[in-house]
Amino acid sequence: MINLKKYRTTKGLSQVAVAKELKITVRMYQYLESGRRNPSWEVAQRLERFFNVPASELLAEFKEPTNPLG
C-alpha cells in the first residue's frame, strides 16, 4: 500500500474530497493511491502542499508493522 492512503485516512478524508482539492479526477487519485500511476510533477507538488509532507514520503510504499512472535 502507498503511504498516500495512510495520510488521507488519518485526515478523515474521502478519495473524492482529496481529488477535488488536487483538481484531478477521482479515478486518477485512485490510481495514484494504489500505486498504479505516478503523479506528474505538478500533481506531486499539489500533494506535498495539501498533506504538508514530501511527495517522496507520500508515494513510498507503506508496510504494515508485523508483530514478533514470542
Q: Domains for the chain: give ranges and CATH numbers.
A: 3-57 (1.10.260.40)
The whole-number pLDDT of residue 1 equals 47
How would residue 14 be classed by pLDDT, with cut points 50, 70 and 90?
very high
The whole-number pLDDT of residue 2 equals 76
* Residue whose C-alpha cell reads 495512510 in the numeric block: 6
Q: Is 15 exposed, middle or buried (0-12, 13-18, 19+ CB in 10 A)?
A: middle
What distance in Å separates the CA atoms of residue 28 and residue 35, rounded to the nearest whole number? 11
Tens-place pLDDT, residues 30-63: 999 998 999 999 999 999 999 999 988 887 775 5
What is the percent of the chain with per-residue pLDDT over 90, rounded to a whole number?
A: 70
